[in-house]
Amino acid sequence: MLGLVLGIALFAYVVSLFVSGADFEEIAPYLIAADHINFIMVMTNLTFAMMATVSVVAETANRVIYRGVNTGILGFAVGLFTENVTLKRISPRSWGWRCSTRSIPT
């Protein structure tokens, strides 16, 4: 849900930039960030939601993993639209670590 809301808000911002006559170079980082938020964040959350329904992991662990993954994805998206190389390098690692700690349902 968070990814969907953020993606729609970011698209609305991109549209407002476009309507105000901004150059494509100014809009491009926001388009890339919106694409990542809409696809990666929404699909990851949907996958985790389906896995959590049959998971043997405690609900508290599911929340920790969910928040960690979303924090990593948001950090990566912020790194994309601010063009911050450090955030783009650090965030996927924390996100990947959270994904790898996810228990596979039996």
Rounded mean pLDDT, 36-55: 78
Question: Do the domain assignments include residue 18?
Answer: yes
Query: Is residue 105 pLDDT above 80, yes or no?
Result: no
Question: Do the domain assignments include residue 29?
Answer: yes
Q: How many helices (H) and strands (E) does the chain have?
A: 5, 0
Into how many domains does the chain fold?
1
87 and 68 in contact (C-beta within 8 Å)? no
| Domain span holding position 26 | 2-100
Question: Do the domain assignments include residue 106?
Answer: no
Rounded mean pLDDT, 7-27: 87
Question: Do the domain assignments include residue 105?
Answer: no
Rounded mean pLDDT, 49-70: 76
Query: Is residue 45 pLDDT above 70, yes or no?
Result: yes
